Amino acid sequence: MNNILIMLLVIPLVMGLVSMLLRGREKTKLCKVLTLISCILTFAFSVMTFFAGDLTLHIWQITENIPFDLALDDLSRIFVLLFNFIWLIVCIYSFEYLEEDKKQERFFGYYLLSLFTLNGIAMSSNIMTFYVFFESMTLVAFPLIIHNETDEAREGAFKYLFYSVAGAFIALGGIFLLVLKDVPMEFKAGGVGVFGSDTMTLVATMLILVGFGTKAGLFPMHAWLPIAHPVAPAPASAVMSGIITKTGVLAIIRIIFYYIGADNLKGTWVQYSFMVLTLITVFMGSMLAYKEKIFKKRLAYSTVSQVSYVLFGLSLLNPLGFTGAILHVLFHSLIKNTLFMSAGAVIHKTEKTEVQDLKGMGYAMPVTMWCFTIAGIALVGIPPLNAFLSKWFLMQGALSSGMSDAIRYGGPAVLLVSALLTAGYLVTISLRAFFVPEEEYRLPKNEAGFEMKFAQIVLTVLIVALGVYCTPLVNYINNIATTIMGGM
Amino acid sequence: MDFVQNLPFFGIVAALFFGVLCSVVHRRAAEILTYLLLGFEVVASILVLLFVIRTGTSFTYMMGHFPAPWGNEIRAGIFECFTAFFFSATMLLALVGGRKHIYHEVESTKVNLYYTMACLLLSSILALIYTNDLFTAYVFVEINTLSAAGLIMTKRSGKAIAAATKYMVMSLLGSALFLMGICTTYDITGHLLMSNIKEAMAALHASGQYAVPISVIIGLMSIGLAIKSALYPFHTWLPDAHGSASVSTSAILSALVSEVYMFLLIKIFYRVIGWDVVQDNKIMNVLYLFGIIAMLMGSIHALRESDIKQMIAYSSIAQFGYIFMGIGLGTAFGMQAAAFHLFAHASGKALVFIAQAGLADANGGDRRIVALKGTAHKNPIAGITFTVGAFSMVGIPFFAGFISKYNFATAALYSPNKIVITLVTLAISTVLNAIYFLRVVLRIYSPIEDKKPVIRSGFAFGLAVTVMAIGNIALGVFGSNVMEYIISGLKMFG
Amino acid sequence: MNILSICFPIIIPVVFGLLIPVFDFKKKLAREIYVMSVVCVTSVLAWINVINMTPETITLWSFAKPLIVALRIDGVSKVFIALISSLWPFATLYAFEYMRHEERVNSFFGFYTTTFGITMGIASSANLMTMYMFYELLTLVTIPLVMHEMNHRSIRAAIKYFTYSIGGAAFAFMGFIIITKYCGTNDFVYGGIITSEIMKEKAGYVYLAYILMFFGFGVKAAVFPFHGWLPSAGVAPTPVTALLHAVAVVKSGAFAIIRITYFIFGAQTLKGTVGEYIPLVFVIITIVFGSSMAVKEQHLKRRFAYSTISNLSYILFGVLMLSPAGLTAGLLHMVFHGVMKIAIFFCAGAIMHQTGYEYIYEINGFGFKMKKIFAVYSIASLAVVGIPPLPGFYSKLALAKAALENGDVLSYIGIAALLISALLTAVYLMSIMVRAYFRPFESDKSVKDPNAYMVIPQFMFCAMMIGFSIFGSYICQFMAEIVSNL
């Protein structure tokens, strides 16, 4: 069954490299086909992981005490599934979006390579392997951002690269402080058990949190995100915001719960500072999104805010918070991808980029805007849509955390304010799109093509469906939470 | 008494005699006579050196067999003989190497007079090396001054005469101070023979009498000789003199005339005043300080110079600074280092002076550094030997300068208060040397289109520079052996 | 094994190299065959020595009691010799093509080959005197290479180069004198030759000597504030910049510092003293400073030169950890950086050779025109940045590990400096990749890959890098063994 692990890596890697070599008009088609096939295959394999049991695979010994290993555990499965599923959907979407593009083979090549690194990240069984894949992902995602090759794209891409590499190196500094003392490097549910709450460990953890937090747009290393995400082509923006930010989350989960051990951090200054940083980010992201006039930038700020919901959940260090966080990872991915795809569809069809231009768009692109509206409402956290559930768990986690009252009530208060702001910056768009006073504002119909609509609809359906029924998922995640936190 | 023991005296007298002879014969004959004389001096000093090494002690030679304290004595030890050998050999090579220039620059009717001056200069140098009598030393100091001034003047340009006059004035000032020192010495000790003065001085020092006059004596003599050997800031005559003198003159002036005074100073410190007396005197620190300043200022001046000969002249000033610094360290090791540097510098400096002339000739006699571009291709032997000299000046291993640098630095470690200053100055000075010498080396090796020599420099030139270059490398490679002789020679000084 | 064979890799290139201007080859082919055979023979002999040689001393000449010219090959020498002799033949091959249109090729290859021998001499020196001697000679034989173009700029650079180098050597010499005087010897002995009595009486002078020698030899290793010559020396032809100013010369500086630190003073003598801290502070400054300047610099070769400055101080940082782990890390980075940086420089050289462009803003879109060159460049620069699992990562890991073992404040600052520098490295190297791959091609010249002479060495370096990354663990272990066997 180890083949699953290998296939999840090899298929996107090889196919990605192959499709980069395909040039020319007729070959582009082949390239698309290859991409689609490999996305479908990897998706299939990712589903199979749920039936495969825990697997480990030793690939190569980097240095004498640094192995390069893969493993499949409960957490990996969720992330692998998420990554591969979104990749498949966005892949379909991008066929239409990139129709006119001259360098599709490059886009799809790096798109698949990114998937390769993402799968690697999800399945890394030790901290060094994780770092290797994380760093590679930074690099292979870079061409996706710079794809348009405009000055803005270059600026954004550089900012992305600079922050990401800086973050990675801050994290690496922390990792150095931890692992070079000849401690085991393998992740283990609940922590490897050699660390205590000494200053060195805490400093290292904080460095790692801030470092990996860069990818998740955590304040103070968030500034790249609203610049870099919108300059990419819409499918890339979608996966950047929806998925790649989550690798930062995954990194933090792996470090806190699978390496250091949550108990060692509980009640320390690291927990508090981390929590404060997440809350600052949550509020600041929403506030900036509210003020933003450019459509995609507004969504990017929203990502900054929403990913920090997840991090807030993690910072609580209790099972409820953890469950909420993982749920929010999944739900936010679905929602944010939908939102970005809708924005992309609008741009693709009408080339309108500012929020105020969307007046009456509901008449021009009804499907797109409906999907957008549903996703937007979901993100605000209105039941029965999915994000309500994750936010509910987050609030529960905060209230039951047994920490000081300032946190117990302050945290949820910030989340609520942010939710209000979310409503302010997302729902107003929908309102403006559908409710225009005059007839002349109702734009003529100009709906996106099949692929785009399909992708959006699939995700929107999932948003609704998971909102209505997701008990197995919650149980599954609860199960993980119990393993890593010893049934707290 | 061995026959060999007569040779130093014969040498001095012969030099005086040949000088007179040269003034009346034809220029060719004068040239050959001078070469013969120098050849004789080289052989004689080697013989004496071997004799002294064999016997292991120095000997004194009484002129006219008047015993002390009235007589006039010559004394020969290893150090003296080696110096005599080295200086006469260097002089021979300098004259051979610059032969063409002498014919070129001196009026043809006066060439024999040039050689007369050279012979007289040689006699004074040898006398200063060998003499055991303070007053004899003074007499030959004056002869030295006059003959050197004569050599400088031979070029018969207004500038040359001005330079010679300047040299005379400065040099006579130095002589006067030196003479005052001798007078004072005579006054408090009643002797002129070195050995006798030394005993008297030791007695005075032990009794604590005349402490001030002794200091004054050391001061007067040191400063007098320092002026004559162009210690910074008494150097002003030197660049002018070099600027207008013929190359042989420059080489002799830099390598021999200035150095023989330093030799004399070392000798006076050991043989006249007594090492113990000198060591206790603060005057050493003054010499040290001026030495350090000279090391730096000489190089800085050299750096700013655009004429290669002037540059080398200023480099000499820096090198004299090394020697005075070594003396000023006030230890036996400093003295040894200074003594070795006399030879290292003489061999290197004479070489670069002569080689420089070859390079300038290849370019039509233009001595500006910028104009020397590519001259090493036109005159390869001059180029290579100049490079050897430059490497020696910078102190690259396997060249004489390296051993010197090593000696100075090691010696510095024995003077606790002076370690850091000495080492740092040495290092900075090395850098400065490297900058201005290697700058020239780079320039002369720059590629050029036309590689044909403008004028042939001749066999004599090639031979002279080659021998000097080999001599320099030999000093570098066998430096430790030479050092042993110097150490034993200085011991013989007592 | 005849012990005299130590001398062969030194003598052969020096003698046969100096003969090249004498022979004055008129035919290109004859010259190339001659040079290549000399270089290859030397490399083979050097490798034989590396494999077979036991650490025995052979004395060649004695100037005076402590001033002895003697040779010896021990583990550290072997690492350096192996590095140099592996790179030299390929660099020579590259130089053939690069120098095709230049003048005075004979004298160029003469000095180029001679430098090989001198570098070997530095590697095989058995005492400080010998190393100092070769070190000075190295300066002298590389000056003609730096000023090969003989224009105003290159002569200025050459003057700057030798001023710095000889100045450094002069100060190192003063330290050398102090050590020789107090110890009575200057042989390289692992663990140092400074006895506890000397430390008791003359500790101040010992530290002074170390600092003098560190910065003196550090000039060649381009330690701040004595780094200025390296970017200027970039005016030299690229084979010189690449091989000498990224590998041979600068690594000689680093090698010399390894020698004095571990073989003259000894780690124990310096540990926790002012002799450790002052150099360490400057090394850390250099690490960050070099990278920052590289980010600022727009000239291709000068940017890489600043990168070299920064990376050399990585090596020195490892060395100054004063532990076997630190030495191992330093040696690792010495080897890895040698291969990576030569490849990067050769890419710059290929660009200059093919198009004449020297500035970064001129290479827009070259990535698809010079595919092979930029493929190599991409791999090499990712390696320098330290992206795992490329070799640069291992050495940085080892450095950080050594620093953690050391565990004092400066070490932690050093780790931070390494990481900041790694970030800046990413910026200055990858921005070139981005220009080459993600900007439209806009030059009016025709741009294409150079011929096999230039590409083969590049691929070889690439293969070495990939080899390093695959066998990283073995190489790390191997280095550690070498150090533990000293």
Tell me the ipTM for this assembly.
0.79
Residue A337 within a domain? yes
pLDDT at B113: 86
**Contact: C67, B446; criterion CB under 8 Å:** no
Interface contact A173-C419, CB threshold 8 A: yes
* Cα radius of gyration rounded to whole Å, chain C: 21
User: CA A227 → CA A25, A211, C456, distances in Å?
Assistant: 32, 19, 42
The dihedral of CA B6, B8, B11, B15: what is its sign?
negative
Residue in A with minimal Cα distance to C395: A63
Cis peptide before C231 (omega within 30 of 0): no
Compute the C-alpha angle C351/C352/C356, nearest 5°: 120
Gap between the Cα atoms of B316 and B298, Å rounded? 7
Are A170 and C419 an interchain contact pair (Cβ–Cβ within 8 Å)?
Answer: yes
Domain span at residue C20 reads 1-270
Do C189 and C264 lie in one domain? The reply is yes
* Domain presence at residue C71: yes
Q: Residues of A at the C interface (Cβ-Cβ below 8 Å)?
A: 61-64, 66, 68, 128, 131-132, 135-136, 139, 142-143, 146, 149, 154, 157-158, 161-162, 165-166, 169-170, 172-173, 176-177, 180-181
Domain match, C461 and C348 both:
yes
- Residue C61 backbone phi and psi in degrees, to 5: -160, 145
For residue C38, pLDDT over 70 is answered with: yes
Look up residue A123 and give its amino acid.
Answer: M
CB B433: neighbour CB atoms within 10 A?
27
- Whether A63 sits inside 8 A of C394 (CB atoms) is yes
Q: Is the pTM of this model over 0.95?
A: no
Which domain covers residue B488, as residue numbers?
282-494
- Chain B interface test: which of C102, C162, C177 (most B C-beta within 10 Å): C177
C-chain residues near A149 (CB < 8 A): 438-440
* C-alpha span between A185 and B76 (Å, rounded): 82
Residues C197 and C313 in one domain: no
Q: Does residue A289 form part of some domain?
A: yes
- Give the per-residue pLDDT at B451: 61
- Contact residues on chain C for A172, CB-CB shorter than 8 A: 419, 422
Max Cα-Cα span within chain C: 71
**Residue A377 sits in which domain range?**
276-488
Dihedral in degrees, nearest 10, Cα atoms B241, B247, B250, B251: 180
Closest-CA distance of chain C to residue A64, Å = 5
A62 chain-C contacts, CB cut-off 8 A: 388-389, 394, 472-473
Residues C238, C306 within the same domain: no
Residues C380 and C311 in one domain: yes
Residue B80 vs residues B13, C298, C432: alpha-carbon distances, Å: 17, 64, 70
Domain count, chain B: 1
What's the CA gap between C460 and C376, in Å, rounded? 10
Is there a domain that residue B235 lies in?
no
Residue C44 pLDDT > 70: yes
Residue of chain A whose alpha carbon sits nearest to that of C385: A165
Q: Nearest-CA neighbor of B15 among B152, B131, B124? A: B124
- State pLDDT tens for residues A100-151: 877 888 888 888 999 999 999 998 888 888 888 898 888 888 888 888 888 8
Three-state SS annotation for B318-330: HHHHHHHHHHHCC
Higher pLDDT residue, A299 or C234?
A: A299
Our count of domains for chain A comes to 1
Residues C439, A181: C-beta atoms closer than 8 Å? no
Q: Is residue A285 part of a domain?
A: yes
How far apart, in Å, are the Cα atoms of C257 and each of C76, C221, C280, C327, C395? Answer: 12, 9, 12, 11, 18
Note the pLDDT of residue B454. 57
The answer to whether residue B251 is domain-embedded is: no
- Record the tokens describing residue C419, joined without a space: 């990481």
Q: What is the pLDDT of residue B132?
A: 84
Beta-carbon contacts below 8 Å between A and C: 76
Same domain, C27 and C147: yes
Q: What percent of chain C has pLDDT over 90?
A: 8
For A151-197, give the DSSP string: HHHHHHHHHHHHHHHHHHHHHHHHHHHHHTTT---B--TT--S---S
Residue C276 inside a domain? The answer is: no
Q: What is the pLDDT of residue B420?
A: 83
Q: Which of C129, C137, C166 minimises the CB distance to B434?
A: C166
Distance of residue C474 Cα from the nearest chain A Cα, in angstroms: 7
pLDDT reported for residue C195: 81
The string of DSSP letters for B128-154 reads HHHB-BHHHHHHHHHHHHHHHHHHHHT
| Chain A CB contacts of C411 below 8 Å | none
Interface test mutation site (partner C, options B398, B473, B478, B482, max chain C beta carbons within 10 A): B398
Q: Which of C270, C301, C330 is the last residue of a domain?
A: C270
User: Cβ(A348)–Cβ(A235) under 8 Å?
Assistant: no
Task: Mark whether C7 and C127 lie in a shared domain.
Answer: yes
Say yes or no: C200 and C316 in one domain. no
Cα B196–Cα B200–Cα B203 angle in degrees, nearest 5: 145
Low-confidence ranges of chain B (pLDDT < 70): 1, 64-71, 450-456, 494
> What pLDDT sits at residue A23?
67
| Summary mean pLDDT of chain C | 86
Q: Is residue C171 part of a domain?
A: yes
C-alpha span between B404 and B412 (Å, rounded): 12
Q: Residues with Cβ < 8 Å from C439, sequence gap 6 or more? A: A149, A154, C364, C365
- Gap between the Cα atoms of B484 and B367, Å rounded: 40
Closest chain C residue to the Cα of B483, Cα to Cα:
C64
CA distance A418 to A415: 5
Task: Write out the two tokens for B75.
Answer: 């004394």
Chain C: nearest CA to A144, how far in angstroms? 11
Mutate to test the interface with C, among B296, B408, B442 (most CBs of C within 10 A): B442
The verdict on a CB contact (< 8 Å) between C438 and A154 is yes
Q: Which amino acid does the sequence have at C486?
A: L
Q: How many domains would you assign to chain C?
A: 2
What is the distance between the terminal CA atoms of chain C, rounded to a whole angstrom?
20
| Chain A residue with Cα closest to C393 | A132
In a domain, C148, yes or no: yes
Q: Give the residue among B381, B451, B439 at the shortest CA–CA distance from B97.
A: B381
C and B touching (3 or more beta-carbon pairs closer than 8 Å): yes
The pLDDT, as a whole number, for residue A487 is: 47
Classify A413 as helix, strand or coil: helix
C364 and C390 belong to one structural domain: yes
Q: How far is CA A106 from CA A140, A143, A481, B288, C397, in A?
A: 11, 8, 40, 75, 33
CA-closest candidate to residue C304, choices C355, C380, C226: C380
3-state secondary structure of B234: coil
Q: From the CB coordinates, do chains B and A have 3 or more pairs under 8 Å?
A: no
Q: Which residues of C touch B436 (CB under 8 A)?
A: none
Of C339, C333, C337, C340, the residue nearest C319 (C-alpha): C333
**pLDDT given at position A117:** 92
* C237, C270, C303 - which closes a domain: C270
Domain's final residue, options C235, C270, C305:
C270
Interface test with A, best of C438, C439, C475, C477 (most A CBs within 10 A): C438
End-to-end CA distance of chain B: 22
Q: Which helix (H) or strand (E) holds C59?
A: strand C58-62
pLDDT band at C282 (very low <50, low <70, confident <90, very high): very high
Cα of C15 to nearest chain B Cα, Å: 17
**Contact in structure between A427 and A377 (CB atoms under 8 Å):** yes
| For chain C, percent of residues with pLDDT exceeding 70 | 100
Nearest residue of B to residue C158, measured between CA atoms: B442
Question: Tokens in use for B169?
Answer: 């004035």
| Greatest Cα pair distance in chain A | 73
Size of interface B-C (CB pairs under 8 A): 88
Looking at residue B377, its pLDDT comes to 81
Identify the H or E element spanning C61: strand C58-62
Interface of C with A in 147-166 (CB under 8 A): none
Does residue C310 sit within a domain? yes
A285 to chain C, minimum CA–CA distance in Å?
A: 26
Candidates B420, B438, B445: best to mutate against C (most CBs of C within 10 A) is B438
Distance CA A308, CA C39 (A): 61
Residues of B with CB under 8 A from a CB of C: 391, 394-398, 403, 405-406, 409-410, 412-413, 419-420, 423-424, 426-428, 430-431, 434-435, 438-439, 442, 445-447, 477, 479-480, 483
* A165 with C426: Cβ contact below 8 A: yes
Partner residue opposite C63 with nearest CB, options B391, B413, B479 = B479
Q: By C-alpha distance, which of A375, A423, A391, A376 is closest to A309?
A: A391
The distance of C475 to chain B (nearest Cα, Å) reads: 37
Confidence category of residue A488, pLDDT binned at 50, 70, 90: very low
Backbone angles phi, psi at A268, to 5 degrees: -90, 170
Touching C (3+ Cβ pairs <8 A), the chains are A, B
Q: How far apart are CA C400 and CA B227, in angstroms?
A: 61
Q: Which residues pair with A67 in a beta bridge?
A: A61
